[in-house]
Chain A
Amino acid sequence: MALTTEQPLTIDKPRSSGRPAARRSNFELYSWLFMRLSGLLLVVLVLGHLLIMNILDDGVHRINFGFVAGRWASPFWQLWDLAMLWLAEIHGTNGLRTVINDYARKDATRFWLKMLLYTSMVLILAVGTFVIFTFDPNIGD
Protein backbone atom coordinates (compact mmCIF):
# COMPACT_ATOMS: atom_id res chain seq x y z
CA MET A 1 0.00 0.00 0.00
CA ALA A 2 1.65 3.13 -1.16
CA LEU A 3 -1.06 5.41 0.10
CA THR A 4 -1.13 5.98 3.83
CA THR A 5 -3.00 8.69 5.59
CA GLU A 6 -3.15 9.49 9.25
CA GLN A 7 -6.90 9.83 9.16
CA PRO A 8 -9.40 8.38 6.75
CA LEU A 9 -10.09 10.57 3.79
CA THR A 10 -13.51 12.06 3.99
CA ILE A 11 -14.92 13.96 1.08
CA ASP A 12 -18.37 15.47 0.99
CA LYS A 13 -20.68 13.97 -1.54
CA PRO A 14 -20.96 16.16 -4.59
CA ARG A 15 -23.95 18.50 -4.40
CA SER A 16 -24.04 18.17 -0.64
CA SER A 17 -24.95 21.17 1.42
CA GLY A 18 -24.48 21.85 5.10
CA ARG A 19 -27.84 23.52 5.32
CA PRO A 20 -30.84 21.99 7.08
CA ALA A 21 -33.60 20.82 4.77
CA ALA A 22 -36.19 23.43 3.84
CA ARG A 23 -39.05 23.49 6.32
CA ARG A 24 -41.84 23.67 3.73
CA SER A 25 -43.47 26.46 5.71
CA ASN A 26 -45.05 29.54 4.20
CA PHE A 27 -44.45 31.67 7.30
CA GLU A 28 -41.88 33.95 5.65
CA LEU A 29 -44.13 34.33 2.62
CA TYR A 30 -47.11 35.38 4.73
CA SER A 31 -45.05 37.73 6.88
CA TRP A 32 -43.70 39.37 3.70
CA LEU A 33 -47.22 39.68 2.32
CA PHE A 34 -48.55 41.01 5.62
CA MET A 35 -45.96 43.82 5.58
CA ARG A 36 -47.20 45.00 2.17
CA LEU A 37 -50.92 44.76 2.93
CA SER A 38 -50.75 46.21 6.44
CA GLY A 39 -48.50 48.98 5.11
CA LEU A 40 -51.13 49.98 2.56
CA LEU A 41 -53.89 49.95 5.19
CA LEU A 42 -51.77 51.91 7.65
CA VAL A 43 -51.24 54.68 5.12
CA VAL A 44 -54.99 55.31 5.16
CA LEU A 45 -55.51 54.67 8.88
CA VAL A 46 -52.53 56.68 10.19
CA LEU A 47 -52.85 59.61 7.78
CA GLY A 48 -56.60 59.75 8.56
CA HIS A 49 -55.81 59.66 12.27
CA LEU A 50 -53.25 62.46 11.95
CA LEU A 51 -55.69 64.55 9.89
CA ILE A 52 -58.45 64.25 12.47
CA MET A 53 -56.24 64.75 15.50
CA ASN A 54 -53.93 67.51 14.29
CA ILE A 55 -55.44 69.42 11.39
CA LEU A 56 -59.25 69.43 11.28
CA ASP A 57 -61.12 72.09 13.34
CA ASP A 58 -58.73 73.31 16.03
CA GLY A 59 -56.31 70.42 15.67
CA VAL A 60 -54.49 69.35 18.80
CA HIS A 61 -55.94 72.22 20.84
CA ARG A 62 -59.40 70.66 21.09
CA ILE A 63 -58.12 67.24 22.21
CA ASN A 64 -59.09 66.48 25.78
CA PHE A 65 -60.74 63.70 27.74
CA GLY A 66 -64.14 64.64 26.40
CA PHE A 67 -62.99 64.59 22.79
CA VAL A 68 -61.54 61.09 23.13
CA ALA A 69 -64.60 59.90 25.04
CA GLY A 70 -66.84 61.28 22.29
CA ARG A 71 -64.95 59.48 19.53
CA TRP A 72 -64.77 56.16 21.36
CA ALA A 73 -68.52 56.29 21.93
CA SER A 74 -68.80 55.31 18.27
CA PRO A 75 -67.97 51.70 17.29
CA PHE A 76 -66.52 53.02 14.01
CA TRP A 77 -63.71 54.93 15.74
CA GLN A 78 -63.21 52.10 18.18
CA LEU A 79 -62.68 49.77 15.25
CA TRP A 80 -60.45 52.32 13.49
CA ASP A 81 -58.18 52.67 16.50
CA LEU A 82 -58.22 48.94 17.14
CA ALA A 83 -57.17 48.19 13.55
CA MET A 84 -54.45 50.84 13.76
CA LEU A 85 -53.16 49.41 17.02
CA TRP A 86 -53.01 45.80 15.82
CA LEU A 87 -51.68 46.48 12.33
CA ALA A 88 -49.04 48.98 13.44
CA GLU A 89 -47.89 46.82 16.34
CA ILE A 90 -47.57 43.64 14.30
CA HIS A 91 -46.08 45.52 11.35
CA GLY A 92 -43.45 47.06 13.60
CA THR A 93 -42.78 43.79 15.40
CA ASN A 94 -42.32 41.93 12.13
CA GLY A 95 -39.96 44.61 10.88
CA LEU A 96 -37.89 44.38 14.05
CA ARG A 97 -37.95 40.59 13.77
CA THR A 98 -36.24 40.78 10.38
CA VAL A 99 -33.72 43.29 11.75
CA ILE A 100 -32.93 40.91 14.64
CA ASN A 101 -32.66 37.98 12.23
CA ASP A 102 -30.18 39.97 10.17
CA TYR A 103 -28.01 41.50 12.85
CA ALA A 104 -27.96 39.11 15.82
CA ARG A 105 -24.68 37.21 15.68
CA LYS A 106 -25.46 34.32 18.00
CA ASP A 107 -28.50 32.07 17.98
CA ALA A 108 -29.02 32.62 21.73
CA THR A 109 -28.95 36.42 21.32
CA ARG A 110 -31.38 36.14 18.44
CA PHE A 111 -33.74 33.95 20.45
CA TRP A 112 -33.84 36.16 23.54
CA LEU A 113 -34.14 39.43 21.61
CA LYS A 114 -37.10 37.97 19.76
CA MET A 115 -38.67 36.73 23.00
CA LEU A 116 -38.34 40.25 24.43
CA LEU A 117 -39.88 41.64 21.26
CA TYR A 118 -42.83 39.23 21.25
CA THR A 119 -43.48 39.81 24.96
CA SER A 120 -43.62 43.57 24.44
CA MET A 121 -45.91 43.09 21.47
CA VAL A 122 -48.35 40.92 23.39
CA LEU A 123 -48.36 43.33 26.36
CA ILE A 124 -48.98 46.42 24.23
CA LEU A 125 -51.67 44.70 22.18
CA ALA A 126 -53.39 43.39 25.31
CA VAL A 127 -53.33 46.70 27.18
CA GLY A 128 -54.36 48.72 24.11
CA THR A 129 -57.23 46.41 23.23
CA PHE A 130 -58.35 46.33 26.85
CA VAL A 131 -58.48 50.13 27.02
CA ILE A 132 -60.40 50.51 23.76
CA PHE A 133 -63.08 48.01 24.78
CA THR A 134 -63.44 48.90 28.44
CA PHE A 135 -63.07 52.68 28.17
CA ASP A 136 -65.49 54.30 30.58
CA PRO A 137 -66.40 57.95 29.79
CA ASN A 138 -67.83 58.37 33.30
CA ILE A 139 -64.64 57.33 35.03
CA GLY A 140 -64.46 60.59 37.00
CA ASP A 141 -67.89 60.19 38.56
Chain B
Amino acid sequence: MTASTTSPTDQTTSGSRGTTPPVPEGAVAVTVKIRRFNPEVDPEPYWQSFEVPALPTDRVLNLLHYVKWYLDGTLTFRRSCAHGICGSDAMKINGVNRLACKVLMKDLFAGDGKQTTVTIEPIKGLPVHKDLLVDMEPFFEAFRAVKPYLIAYGNEPTRERLQSQADRARFDDTTKCILCACCTTSCPVYWTEGSYFGPAAIVNAHRFIFDSRDEGAEERLDILNDVDGVWRCRTTFNCTDACPRGIQVTKAIQEVKRALLFRRT
Protein backbone atom coordinates (compact mmCIF):
# COMPACT_ATOMS: atom_id res chain seq x y z
CA MET B 1 0.00 0.00 0.00
CA THR B 2 2.33 2.76 -1.18
CA ALA B 3 1.12 6.07 -2.51
CA SER B 4 3.75 6.26 -5.28
CA THR B 5 1.85 4.15 -7.80
CA THR B 6 -1.30 6.29 -7.90
CA SER B 7 -2.30 9.61 -9.45
CA PRO B 8 0.13 12.52 -10.04
CA THR B 9 -1.28 14.58 -7.21
CA ASP B 10 0.14 12.03 -4.83
CA GLN B 11 3.66 13.00 -5.86
CA THR B 12 3.46 16.08 -3.65
CA THR B 13 1.51 14.58 -0.78
CA SER B 14 -0.18 11.44 0.43
CA GLY B 15 -2.62 13.29 2.64
CA SER B 16 -6.31 13.52 1.84
CA ARG B 17 -6.48 17.31 1.34
CA GLY B 18 -3.67 18.18 -1.04
CA THR B 19 -0.56 20.19 -0.37
CA THR B 20 0.80 21.18 3.02
CA PRO B 21 -0.52 24.61 4.11
CA PRO B 22 1.91 27.37 5.17
CA VAL B 23 3.20 26.99 8.71
CA PRO B 24 1.48 29.60 10.93
CA GLU B 25 3.55 32.10 12.86
CA GLY B 26 4.51 30.91 16.32
CA ALA B 27 4.15 27.24 15.48
CA VAL B 28 6.61 24.74 16.95
CA ALA B 29 7.54 21.48 15.23
CA VAL B 30 6.53 18.56 17.44
CA THR B 31 6.86 14.82 16.96
CA VAL B 32 3.57 12.96 16.86
CA LYS B 33 4.19 9.28 17.55
CA ILE B 34 1.19 7.19 16.62
CA ARG B 35 0.47 3.51 17.21
CA ARG B 36 -0.44 2.32 13.69
CA PHE B 37 -2.12 -0.91 12.68
CA ASN B 38 -3.70 -1.96 9.42
CA PRO B 39 -5.06 -5.49 9.82
CA GLU B 40 -4.87 -6.12 6.04
CA VAL B 41 -1.13 -5.48 5.85
CA ASP B 42 0.53 -5.40 9.27
CA PRO B 43 1.13 -8.53 11.28
CA GLU B 44 1.67 -6.39 14.39
CA PRO B 45 0.94 -2.80 15.45
CA TYR B 46 3.94 -0.48 15.14
CA TRP B 47 4.93 3.09 16.02
CA GLN B 48 5.14 5.77 13.34
CA SER B 49 6.35 9.32 13.92
CA PHE B 50 5.36 12.49 12.09
CA GLU B 51 6.77 16.01 12.30
CA VAL B 52 3.85 18.40 12.70
CA PRO B 53 3.78 22.19 13.31
CA ALA B 54 1.77 22.95 16.43
CA LEU B 55 0.47 26.17 17.95
CA PRO B 56 -0.03 26.39 21.74
CA THR B 57 -3.74 26.82 21.05
CA ASP B 58 -3.92 23.67 18.92
CA ARG B 59 -5.60 20.59 20.28
CA VAL B 60 -4.15 17.12 19.74
CA LEU B 61 -7.02 16.54 17.32
CA ASN B 62 -5.65 19.34 15.11
CA LEU B 63 -2.35 17.50 14.91
CA LEU B 64 -4.09 14.28 13.91
CA HIS B 65 -6.01 16.20 11.25
CA TYR B 66 -2.74 17.65 9.98
CA VAL B 67 -1.29 14.16 9.67
CA LYS B 68 -4.37 12.77 7.94
CA TRP B 69 -4.95 15.73 5.64
CA TYR B 70 -1.41 16.54 4.60
CA LEU B 71 0.97 13.69 5.47
CA ASP B 72 -0.75 10.32 5.45
CA GLY B 73 -4.38 9.98 4.42
CA THR B 74 -4.54 6.37 5.61
CA LEU B 75 -4.42 7.41 9.28
CA THR B 76 -7.71 6.26 10.77
CA PHE B 77 -9.39 7.67 13.86
CA ARG B 78 -12.86 8.68 15.01
CA ARG B 79 -13.96 12.21 15.62
CA SER B 80 -17.29 13.88 15.17
CA CYS B 81 -18.13 17.12 16.92
CA ALA B 82 -14.52 17.94 17.86
CA HIS B 83 -15.74 19.91 20.87
CA GLY B 84 -15.73 17.37 23.70
CA ILE B 85 -19.41 16.47 23.54
CA CYS B 86 -19.86 13.53 21.19
CA GLY B 87 -17.23 11.33 22.85
CA SER B 88 -15.86 9.90 19.60
CA ASP B 89 -12.16 10.68 19.86
CA ALA B 90 -11.15 8.98 23.09
CA MET B 91 -7.55 7.84 22.78
CA LYS B 92 -4.50 7.27 24.93
CA ILE B 93 -2.45 10.46 24.75
CA ASN B 94 0.96 10.38 26.45
CA GLY B 95 -0.19 7.29 28.32
CA VAL B 96 -3.50 8.58 29.69
CA ASN B 97 -7.01 8.34 28.26
CA ARG B 98 -8.19 11.68 26.96
CA LEU B 99 -10.40 13.18 24.28
CA ALA B 100 -8.08 14.39 21.53
CA CYS B 101 -10.33 17.44 21.06
CA LYS B 102 -9.93 18.54 24.68
CA VAL B 103 -6.15 18.32 25.14
CA LEU B 104 -4.37 21.59 24.35
CA MET B 105 -0.85 21.53 22.96
CA LYS B 106 0.32 24.25 25.36
CA ASP B 107 -0.09 21.70 28.15
CA LEU B 108 2.06 19.14 26.33
CA PHE B 109 5.06 21.22 25.21
CA ALA B 110 8.36 20.08 26.70
CA GLY B 111 10.11 22.88 28.53
CA ASP B 112 13.64 24.23 27.97
CA GLY B 113 13.37 24.17 24.17
CA LYS B 114 13.44 20.37 24.11
CA GLN B 115 11.74 18.47 21.30
CA THR B 116 8.12 17.69 22.19
CA THR B 117 6.86 14.19 21.50
CA VAL B 118 3.16 13.36 21.73
CA THR B 119 2.40 9.64 21.79
CA ILE B 120 -1.05 8.56 20.68
CA GLU B 121 -2.43 5.03 21.05
CA PRO B 122 -5.87 3.49 20.72
CA ILE B 123 -7.75 3.06 24.01
CA LYS B 124 -6.84 -0.22 25.68
CA GLY B 125 -9.04 -3.25 26.29
CA LEU B 126 -11.17 -3.07 23.13
CA PRO B 127 -10.24 -4.81 19.84
CA VAL B 128 -8.38 -2.49 17.45
CA HIS B 129 -9.93 -2.31 13.97
CA LYS B 130 -7.39 0.06 12.44
CA ASP B 131 -4.92 2.60 13.84
CA LEU B 132 -6.79 4.50 16.57
CA LEU B 133 -10.18 3.00 15.69
CA VAL B 134 -11.44 0.38 18.13
CA ASP B 135 -14.49 -1.88 18.18
CA MET B 136 -16.82 -0.21 20.69
CA GLU B 137 -19.39 -3.02 20.65
CA PRO B 138 -18.20 -4.81 23.85
CA PHE B 139 -18.39 -1.44 25.59
CA PHE B 140 -21.93 -0.74 24.39
CA GLU B 141 -23.00 -4.30 25.19
CA ALA B 142 -22.09 -3.72 28.84
CA PHE B 143 -23.93 -0.38 28.67
CA ARG B 144 -27.11 -2.02 27.35
CA ALA B 145 -26.87 -4.81 29.92
CA VAL B 146 -27.52 -2.46 32.86
CA LYS B 147 -30.83 -1.26 31.35
CA PRO B 148 -29.93 2.41 30.91
CA TYR B 149 -33.47 3.64 30.34
CA LEU B 150 -36.41 4.65 32.52
CA ILE B 151 -38.29 1.71 33.97
CA ALA B 152 -41.68 2.58 35.43
CA TYR B 153 -44.68 0.42 36.28
CA GLY B 154 -48.37 1.12 36.67
CA ASN B 155 -50.44 3.64 34.79
CA GLU B 156 -48.68 6.45 33.00
CA PRO B 157 -49.18 9.81 34.69
CA THR B 158 -51.27 12.35 32.82
CA ARG B 159 -48.55 14.97 33.16
CA GLU B 160 -44.75 14.96 33.42
CA ARG B 161 -43.07 12.80 36.02
CA LEU B 162 -42.19 15.53 38.48
CA GLN B 163 -39.14 15.50 40.69
CA SER B 164 -37.76 17.79 43.39
CA GLN B 165 -34.49 19.65 42.87
CA ALA B 166 -32.88 17.59 45.61
CA ASP B 167 -33.99 14.33 43.93
CA ARG B 168 -32.59 15.56 40.63
CA ALA B 169 -29.32 16.58 42.24
CA ARG B 170 -28.90 13.05 43.63
CA PHE B 171 -27.80 11.65 40.27
CA ASP B 172 -26.74 14.86 38.52
CA ASP B 173 -23.07 13.91 38.27
CA THR B 174 -23.69 10.70 36.36
CA THR B 175 -26.00 12.35 33.79
CA LYS B 176 -22.90 13.98 32.31
CA CYS B 177 -21.58 10.76 30.74
CA ILE B 178 -20.98 10.94 26.98
CA LEU B 179 -20.05 7.25 26.55
CA CYS B 180 -16.56 8.00 25.23
CA ALA B 181 -15.13 4.88 26.98
CA CYS B 182 -12.20 6.81 28.51
CA CYS B 183 -13.03 5.43 31.97
CA THR B 184 -13.78 1.82 31.06
CA THR B 185 -10.63 1.50 28.94
CA SER B 186 -8.49 2.99 31.73
CA CYS B 187 -9.65 0.31 34.18
CA PRO B 188 -7.05 -2.42 34.88
CA VAL B 189 -9.81 -4.89 35.76
CA TYR B 190 -11.48 -4.26 32.40
CA TRP B 191 -8.15 -4.75 30.57
CA THR B 192 -7.76 -8.25 31.98
CA GLU B 193 -11.41 -9.31 32.14
CA GLY B 194 -13.69 -7.89 29.47
CA SER B 195 -16.81 -9.35 31.01
CA TYR B 196 -16.57 -6.81 33.87
CA PHE B 197 -19.28 -4.21 33.25
CA GLY B 198 -16.75 -1.43 33.61
CA PRO B 199 -17.07 2.07 35.07
CA ALA B 200 -19.13 3.60 32.24
CA ALA B 201 -21.91 1.00 32.48
CA ILE B 202 -22.02 1.38 36.27
CA VAL B 203 -22.16 5.18 35.93
CA ASN B 204 -25.15 4.84 33.60
CA ALA B 205 -26.80 2.35 35.94
CA HIS B 206 -26.21 4.82 38.79
CA ARG B 207 -27.94 7.52 36.77
CA PHE B 208 -31.19 5.51 36.90
CA ILE B 209 -30.78 3.66 40.22
CA PHE B 210 -30.79 6.98 42.09
CA ASP B 211 -33.50 8.59 39.95
CA SER B 212 -36.65 8.98 42.09
CA ARG B 213 -38.86 8.54 38.98
CA ASP B 214 -37.34 5.16 38.12
CA GLU B 215 -38.62 1.86 39.49
CA GLY B 216 -36.01 -0.50 38.06
CA ALA B 217 -33.37 -0.02 40.74
CA GLU B 218 -33.76 -3.56 42.11
CA GLU B 219 -33.22 -5.13 38.67
CA ARG B 220 -30.11 -3.08 38.04
CA LEU B 221 -28.72 -3.68 41.53
CA ASP B 222 -29.18 -7.43 40.99
CA ILE B 223 -27.22 -7.21 37.75
CA LEU B 224 -24.43 -5.23 39.38
CA ASN B 225 -24.35 -7.54 42.42
CA ASP B 226 -23.13 -10.47 40.35
CA VAL B 227 -19.56 -11.57 39.66
CA ASP B 228 -19.04 -9.03 36.83
CA GLY B 229 -20.59 -6.17 38.75
CA VAL B 230 -19.43 -3.51 41.21
CA TRP B 231 -17.57 -5.88 43.53
CA ARG B 232 -14.91 -6.27 40.82
CA CYS B 233 -13.99 -2.60 41.27
CA ARG B 234 -10.62 -2.24 43.07
CA THR B 235 -10.93 1.53 43.49
CA THR B 236 -7.81 2.41 41.51
CA PHE B 237 -9.42 5.75 40.54
CA ASN B 238 -8.10 5.48 36.95
CA CYS B 239 -11.67 6.06 35.76
CA THR B 240 -12.11 9.26 37.75
CA ASP B 241 -8.78 10.57 36.44
CA ALA B 242 -9.69 9.69 32.87
CA CYS B 243 -13.22 11.11 32.69
CA PRO B 244 -13.22 14.13 30.33
CA ARG B 245 -16.52 15.27 31.86
CA GLY B 246 -15.15 15.31 35.39
CA ILE B 247 -17.59 12.69 36.66
CA GLN B 248 -16.60 11.25 40.05
CA VAL B 249 -16.75 7.75 38.59
CA THR B 250 -15.24 5.83 41.49
CA LYS B 251 -17.56 7.64 43.89
CA ALA B 252 -20.56 6.61 41.78
CA ILE B 253 -19.40 2.98 41.88
CA GLN B 254 -18.98 3.20 45.67
CA GLU B 255 -22.50 4.61 45.98
CA VAL B 256 -23.87 1.60 44.12
CA LYS B 257 -21.90 -0.69 46.47
CA ARG B 258 -23.34 1.16 49.43
CA ALA B 259 -26.87 0.81 48.05
CA LEU B 260 -26.30 -2.92 47.72
CA LEU B 261 -24.92 -3.18 51.25
CA PHE B 262 -27.47 -1.16 53.16
CA ARG B 263 -30.65 -0.74 51.18
CA ARG B 264 -31.28 -4.43 50.69
CA THR B 265 -30.52 -7.43 52.79
Contact = CB atoms under 8 A, between A and B. Distances in A.
A31 B223 contact: no
B135 interface: no
Contacts of B109: none
Interface residues of A, number: 19
Nearest to A15: B144
Nearest to B189: A102
Interface in B184-236: 189, 192-193, 195, 222-223, 225-229, 231-232
Contacts of B166: none
B226 A28 contact: yes
A28 B232 CA distance: 9
Contact of A22 (B141, B144, B189, B225): B225
B261 A19 contact: no
A19 B157 CA distance: 33
A28 B144 contact: no
Contact of B144 (A17, A23, A25): A17
A36 to B, nearest CB: 10
B192 to A, nearest CB: 5
Interface residues of B, number: 21
A26 to B, nearest CB: 7
Given A17-B145, A28-B231, A32-B231, A23 B193 contact: no
A31 B147 CA distance: 26
A99 B210 CA distance: 31
> Looking at A17, A22, A25, A32, which has the most chain B CB atoms within 10 Å of its CB?
A22
Contact of A102 (B147, B149, B193, B222): B193
B260 interface: yes
A35 B223 CA distance: 21
B192 A22 contact: no
A101 B227 contact: yes
Interface string A13-35: 00111110011111011011100
Nearest to B227: A28
A101 B189 CA distance: 10
Contact of A28 (B147, B192, B195, B225): B225
12 contacts: A17-B145, A19-B141, A22-B223, A24-B222, A24-B225, A26-B225, A28-B225, A29-B260, A32-B257, A101-B227, A101-B232, A103-B193
Interface of A: 15-19, 22-26, 28-29, 31-33, 98, 101-103
Given A17-B141, A17-B145, A29-B231, 7 more contacts: A17-B144, A24-B225, A25-B225, A25-B226, A28-B229, A101-B227, A102-B189
